[in-house]
Amino acid sequence: MTDGTTWVGATAKQISRAVRRGDITATQVVADHLEQIAITDPSLDAFRIIRGGEAITEAEKVDDQEDLSNLPLAGVPVAVKENTPVAGVPTWNGSAAARTPVAEEDHEVVRRLRGAGAVVVGITRMPEMGLWAVTDESDTPTRNPWDRDRTPGGSSGGAAAAVAAGLVPIAQCNDGLGSIRIPAACCGLVGLKPGRGVVPAELGIANWFDLVENGVLTTTVSDAALGFSVLAGRDPIKLVEPSRLRIGVSTRSPLPGVRADEPNMSAVTTASKLLVQAGHDTRTADPKYPPTLGLGTLATWFASAYRESEAYQLAALQPRTRQHIRLGKWALRSGLVRQSQRDAFREASIRFFADNSIDLLLTPALASAPPPADGYANGSWRHNMSVSMKYAPFAAPWNIAGLPAISVPVGTRPDGLPLAVQLVGPPDSEALLLAVAGQFEVLNPWQRFAFA
How many Cβ atoms from other residues are within 10 Å of residue 390's Cβ?
Answer: 16
Domain with CATH 3.90.1300.10 in the chain: 12-283+340-443
81 is catalytic: yes
- Ordered alpha helix ranges (H), 278-405: 291-309, 319-333, 339-355, 381-391, 397-401
pLDDT at 348 exceeding the cut of 70 = yes
Query: For all residues of the chain together, what is the average pLDDT?
Result: 96
Question: 0.85 cut: is pTM over it?
Answer: yes
The residue from 16, 95, 156, 179 that is catalytic is 179
pLDDT at 57 exceeding the cut of 90 = yes
pLDDT at 434 exceeding the cut of 90 = yes
Q: Coil, strand or helix: which one is 376?
A: coil
pLDDT at 205 exceeding the cut of 80 = no
Confidence label for 142 from pLDDT (cuts 50, 70 and 90): very high
Q: Percent of the chain beyond pLDDT 90? A: 94
> Amino acid letter at 398?
W
Reported as a single tens digit per residue, the pLDDT across 261-274 is 999 999 999 999 99
The residue from 155, 349, 388, 407 that is catalytic is 155
**Rg of the Cα atoms in the chain:** 20
pLDDT at 430 exceeding the cut of 80 = yes
Position 313 scores a pLDDT of 87
pLDDT at 207 exceeding the cut of 90 = no
What whole-number distance in Å separates Cα of residue 31 and Cα of residue 430?
33
Section 352-375 average pLDDT: 97
Q: Percent of the chain beyond pLDDT 70? A: 98
- With b meaning 16 or more CB within 10 Å and e meaning fewer, what string describes 54-68? bbbebbeebbeeeeb
Going by C-beta distance under 8 Å and a sequence separation of 6 or more, which residues neighbour residue 21?
A: none
Going by C-beta distance under 8 Å and a sequence separation of 6 or more, which residues neighbour residue 119?
A: 26, 30, 55, 58, 59, 62, 75, 76, 77, 78
253 is catalytic: no
What whole-number distance in Å separates Cα of residue 141 and Cα of residue 158?
10
Section 65-75 average pLDDT: 97
Confidence label for 452 from pLDDT (cuts 50, 70 and 90): low
Reported as a single tens digit per residue, the pLDDT across 271-313 is 999 999 999 999 999 999 999 999 999 999 999 999 999 888 8
Reported as a single tens digit per residue, the pLDDT across 372-392 is 998 899 999 999 999 999 999
179 is catalytic: yes
CATH architecture of 12-283+340-443: Alpha-Beta Complex (3.90)
pLDDT at 260 exceeding the cut of 80 = yes
Position 206 scores a pLDDT of 56
Q: Coil, strand or helix: which one is 11?
A: coil
Reported as a single tens digit per residue, the pLDDT across 15-53 is 999 999 999 999 999 999 999 999 999 999 999 999 999
Is the model more confident about 374 or about 118? 118
Backbone angles phi, psi at 225, to 5 degrees: -65, -40
Reported as a single tens digit per residue, the pLDDT across 388-423 is 999 999 999 999 999 999 999 999 999 999 999 999
